[in-house]
Amino acid sequence: MKKREAGLWELYVSFLKIGGLTFGGGYAMLPMLQREVIDRHHWVDEQEVLDIYAIGQCTPGIIAVNTATMIGYRKRGIAGAIVATLGEVTPSLVIISTLASILMSVQDSVWIQRAFGGIRVAVCALITQAIVNLAKKSLVDWQTILLYLLVIGASVFAHLSPIAVVLIAIVYGLMVQHLKRRAA
């Protein structure tokens, strides 16, 4: 496949489509990304998309936005990165702004307040499910259980900053692994 150059407008419209028609997070964008940037425009090949996508997962931020930014940068430099990113986020900004203005006008409605009460409970249940699933995979021995209890204690009772807690957990994990290697 011969790669072709990308115009700024083409980048914007392509990522506008991807951003506007992808629901379900970054993984859901892969089929559309393949159709748009590999099959239709031939801007990159499959291996490049997989590499870009992997980097997008490892960098801070939203995978879809990171991927759009990197592809835009590869095709047209900084201007391409900006345009592709704007195309990716435009649908979300429009939808969120519209919903926010609608919700502001009906926020005092008893029905809306009750609906959000239900949404909050559902979100708590989903977060709890994610925590339980993570705990099953993470709390595997007495060292990880001890770290878990220390982090809970530091967070709840000592009111430590999350950054401090993560740094302490990193040091703890390094020490435990060092001691395990020495004992082996």
What pLDDT digit, counting tens, does each position of 95-105 carry?
A: 999 989 998 88
Q: For residues 27 and 90, state if they share a domain.
A: yes
Banded pLDDT at 2 (limits 50, 70, 90): low
What is the SS3 assignment for 59? coil
Q: For residues 149 and 79, state if they share a domain.
A: no
Residues contacting residue 74 through CB under 8 Å, at least 6 positions apart? 43, 44, 48, 52, 80
Q: For residues 90 and 23, state if they share a domain.
A: yes
DSSP assignment of 133-165, as one string? Answer: HHHHHH--SHHHHHHHHHHHHHHHTS---HHHH
Q: For residues 16 and 60, state if they share a domain.
A: yes
Which of 51, 84, 106 is at the close of a domain? 106
38, 44 in Cβ contact below 8 A?
yes
Q: Is residue 1 part of a domain?
A: no
Which of 57, 88, 106 is at the close of a domain? 106
Q: How far apart are CA 87 and CA 85, in angstroms?
A: 5
pLDDT at site 24 = 66
Q: Is residue 122 part of a domain?
A: no
pTM over 0.75: no
67, 26 in Cβ contact below 8 A?
yes
67, 32 in Cβ contact below 8 A?
no
Q: Is residue 3 part of a domain?
A: no
Closest CA to 6 of 73, 85, 91, 52: 73
Q: Mean per-residue pLDDT for 132-155? A: 87
Most confident region among 58-72, 79-93, 135-149 by mean pLDDT: 79-93
122 pLDDT more than 90: no
Q: For residues 89 and 156, state if they share a domain.
A: no
Q: How far apart are CA 48 and CA 127, in angstroms?
A: 34
Number of domains within the chain: 2
Q: Is residue 159 part of a domain?
A: yes
How many angstroms separate the Cα of 42 from the Cα of each of 50, 68, 109?
15, 15, 50
What is the extent of the structural domain holding 90? 8-106
pLDDT at site 68 = 94
Q: Let me know the angle formed at the C-alpha of 122 by 118 and 124, rounded to the nearest 5 degrees.
A: 115
Which of 106, 130, 163 is at the close of a domain? 106
Q: Is residue 93 part of a domain?
A: yes
